[in-house]
Amino acid sequence: MRISGGNLRGRRIPDFNWGGTKPSTEKTRLGLMNFLMHNISIKDSKMLDLFAGTGLVGLEFLSRGGKELFSLDKNAKAVNYMLEIKNFFKLDYWTIKCFDIEIENFDLMDSYEIIFADPPYEYAQMDELIAKIILSNLLAEDGLFILEHRSSRIFNLHLPYKSSKYGESTISFFKK
């Protein structure tokens, strides 16, 4: 796996060695970053990465000048993996925490201009997750919530204002 753009472009990161994680493809990451670069100011933005897994989407954000990244995942192996990468690249503005979003309280956190979530495809509480983020103070007033999901996924409560399909995965964009 490698970083596709920015000041870390072309840098390889080690393969991960645990199951249950599906890193975003390079094509998906490139599409997402191109959208962000042309629609918001990444350099002034803080990003929250939920279900961060390998941390690649957040690394792409930081590589393109993101101000601050906060990555959360409930898998301790994923958290340790991201910490190794953070230390290797000396990224002091990347905070990583073991965090289960199903039981933790978002209200105690800062607000973010960009929130990215890539839950497992079979994640049952997708609509609840969207509502929880959009209705909380976690998403800044003009913020953008980005959700990666299976392309066949149908939303019941909140409809995205934009979606981009990348094979089996789709990136959907929501605003507050």
- For the record, the structure tokens of 104 come out as 């933790």
Question: Which domain covers residue 90, as residue numbers?
Answer: 26-175
Task: Please report whether residue 83 resides in a domain.
Answer: yes
- Amino acid identity for residue 34 in this structure: N
Summarize pLDDT for 12-42 with one digit per residue, the tens: 988 877 677 777 888 898 899 999 999 888 9
Helices (H), 67-175: 76-89, 126-135
Residue 2 lies in a domain: no
Task: Decide if 127 is inside a domain.
Answer: yes
What are the CA-CA distances from residue 84 to residues 77, 88, 89, 170, 171 (Å)? 11, 6, 9, 29, 27
Contact 10, 2 (CB under 8 A): yes
- Any domain includes 8: no
pTM given for the model:
0.91
Kindly tell me if the per-residue pLDDT of 1 is higher than 90.
no
Other Cβ atoms less than 10 A from the Cβ of 174: the count is 22
Q: Is residue 17 part of a domain?
A: no
Give the pairing type, strands 169-175 and 139-150.
antiparallel
Q: Is residue 174 within 8 Å of residue 142, measured between CB atoms?
A: no
Q: Tens of pLDDT along 45-82?
A: 999 999 999 999 999 999 999 999 999 999 999 999 99
Q: Which residue has the higher pLDDT, 108 or 10?
A: 10
Domain membership flag for residue 12: no
pLDDT band, residue 104 (cuts 50/70/90): low
CATH number of the domain where residue 41 is located: 3.40.50.150
Q: For residue 3, what pLDDT band results from cuts at 50, 70 and 90?
A: very high
Total domains in the fold of the chain: 1
